[in-house]
Amino acid sequence: MLFHGFSAEHCFPVSHFTMISHTPCPQDKSETINPKTCSPKEYLETFIFPVLLPGMASLLHQAKKEKCFERKRTKFIACDFLTEWLYNQNPKRAGEPFTEFFSIPFVEERLKQHPRPPIPLSLLLTEEEAALYIQSFWRACVVRCDPEIQELRQWQKKLREAKHIHQRVKIFWAKQEQKVKCQMEDDAVPAAKMKIPSS
């Protein structure tokens, strides 16, 4: 469902997050709270939300760039973006180079077992490329609607029917196949007559 006039900044103003620089929020409380004994609320507020909320804000900004709030269908997959973002923001990977979604090890393993269907071409094309396709189709349609072009096409159709082009092509290829078959039989006869010298 599309929400016209919706903007990601309404819910997540840019100034409230430092995640644009891809720097996770500081986790001061995590040193004093034991994740195994704390309450679910403390666990979420201390260990989950400081990482997840900046990721969600980054997700909304990227969705806006991909025009997800303007179109019903896009090539942008939110789960893929969030997976890639969280994987690269993992503190255990500090100092390692950026890894694209399809290069993440567990993603590669999953896609080997469950490959995805290809993304439709209509979602991969940019607006400029799609415009070229549409304009090309429209120009061809307009040309075919021209009375002189229609007359030419009708004349070509009648010419093909009058000269039995399809039948002639079929007869031609039948003769060619017969020639090849005869030639192969002629080549096989001398080979059969050749005697194999006894040892």
Residue 164: inside a domain, yes or no?
A: yes
Same domain, 104 and 165: no
- Report the mean per-residue pLDDT for the chain: 79
Same domain (yes/no): 153, 85: no
In this predicted structure, what is the pLDDT of residue 112?
A: 93
Q: Is residue 155 part of a domain?
A: yes
Q: Could you tell me if residue 23 is inside a domain? A: no
* Residue-range definition of the domain harbouring residue 148: 128-180
With cut-offs at 50, 70 and 90, classify the pLDDT of residue 34: confident
Identify whether residues 44 and 100 lie together within a single domain: yes
Q: Which helix H or strand E contains 83, and what residues bound it? A: helix 78-88
Q: What's the pLDDT tens digit per position in 123-170?
A: 888 889 989 999 999 999 999 888 888 888 888 888 777 777 777 778
Closest listed residue to residue 73, CA positions, set 170, 2, 149, 146? 2
As a whole number of angstroms, the distance between CA 48 and CA 86 comes to 11
Is there a domain that residue 12 lies in? Answer: no
Q: Are residues 111 and 163 in the same domain?
A: no
Number of domains in the chain: 2
Q: Kindly state the greatest CA–CA separation across the chain.
A: 96
106 and 62 housed in the same domain:
yes
Q: b/e for 1-40, b at 16 or more Cβ within 10 A?
A: eeeeeeebeeebeeeebebeeeebeeeeeeeebeeeebee
Q: Which residues contact 73 (CB under 8 A, 6 or more apart)?
A: 123
Domain-embedded: residue 10: no
Tell me what pLDDT residue 106 has. 93
Q: Which amino acid is at 99?
A: T
100-115 pLDDT per residue, tens: 999 999 999 999 999 9
Domain check: are 97 and 73 in the same one?
A: yes
Is residue 199 domain-resident?
Answer: no
Same structural domain, 68 and 132: no
Residue 50 located in a structural domain? yes
pTM of the shown model: 0.51
In a domain, 110, yes or no: yes
Residue 76's SS3 state is coil
Q: Are residues 114 and 138 in the same domain?
A: no
